[in-house]
Amino acid sequence: MNIALLGFGVVGGGVYELCRKRTDLSLRRVLVRSDKPEIASIATRSFDDILSDPSIDTVVEVMGGIHPAKEYVCAALNAGKHVVTANKALIAACYDELIALARKNGVALRCTAAVGGGIPWLINLERVKRLDSLSQVGGIMNGTTNFIMDAMHAAPVSFADILKKAQELGYAEADPSADIDGDDIRRKLAISANIAFDTALSETEIPTFGIRTVTDGDIASFQRRGFVCKLIATALRCEDGVCAFVEPTLVSRQEPEAAVPANYNLITYTADAIGRQSFFGQGAGRFPTAANVVQDCLDVLGGKTAFYSVPSAAAKLCADAVAHPYYVRTAVMDPWLTSITADHWEGGVITSAVPVGQMLRWAKERLAADPTCFIAGIR
């Protein structure tokens, strides 16, 4: 296999190191933005050098973002080149379009590293579907937020202080919004649900509440009652379509999610015949992510060109299909919240069972009036 690599950052460098040790994967070109002396002989700043080279059969995209990654990936597919990508933002935003383009041109589109980093999650979704029917997917799918929540449970520390430490360690970006506001995990959930249920959910329509407003006081209150708070993504089949949402969630100390440490992920599916199976590991990182990218290349080299799921069908997003109690902390109670309050904890209230979509819509509006508001589902 002759590969062109788009991007030479953390993951791209890992792909380069893994490929150079093999004789069946040849890196012919690397698209870069600045001079890289260590790869000067194969580096280029022009994508046309890659597109016009008939010897290159596979393009590996690890640039991130939607533009210009989308333009490059579409051009590669139209040129009859296989594409392997780790770009969750691109796959989530252009899911149907890219799959259709790959099928039209008879080439592979693989993106195992886009969800779970080094965890072989998507390929196992694909595998279990051959014999079983999936009913639910989700879990802890973002290492940055898990690192923050794990640290806040281990010792009293403010959210701002632990976020700063996460940035110093390289777990969080200078602008951490995509992680702490739940955008990253929402994209991963959309891809996972679409593959699991053969649907085409729009990731921007999945209701989401992040961890930006959690406090050490909230965490202490949860711990006194035997709970651990994690940012958890959930998608499940329901009668009218797919119920999908992302929210801070209180789980019992005995649950597997409660024990997930540092920047690790725990992603789970439930299937009709085999029940629940979970995948634990590094959700990001240079070599864990690069390893899944290279594994995809080896699958394509072995003749695997189909996507992980069959052509998608329209599905209704029905977040109100699931209801459970919530912990809610807000500066001022409003009539609706008062009407559903079932108990009081330090600093917050516990509601009766509320449809998830309804609560997340309320919370989104509430943040405009009270930027310190925090909610967490209780399961």
Catalytic residues: 188
Task: Say how far apart CA 310 and CA 295 lie, in whole Å.
Answer: 21
Please give the structure tokens belonging to residue 319. Answer: 């977040």
Task: Say how far apart CA 59 and CA 79 lie, in whole Å.
Answer: 11
Rg (CA), the chain: 22
**Residue 153 burial by Cβ neighbours in a 10 Å radius (0-12, 13-18, 19+):** buried
Closest CA to 247 of 155, 156, 362: 362
Task: Say how far apart CA 377 and CA 379 lie, in whole Å.
Answer: 6
135-150 in b/e burial notation, b at 16+ Cβ within 10 A? bbbbbbbbbbbbbbbb
Task: Say how far apart CA 377 and CA 76 lie, in whole Å.
Answer: 43
Which 8-state DSSP code applies to residue 49? Answer: H
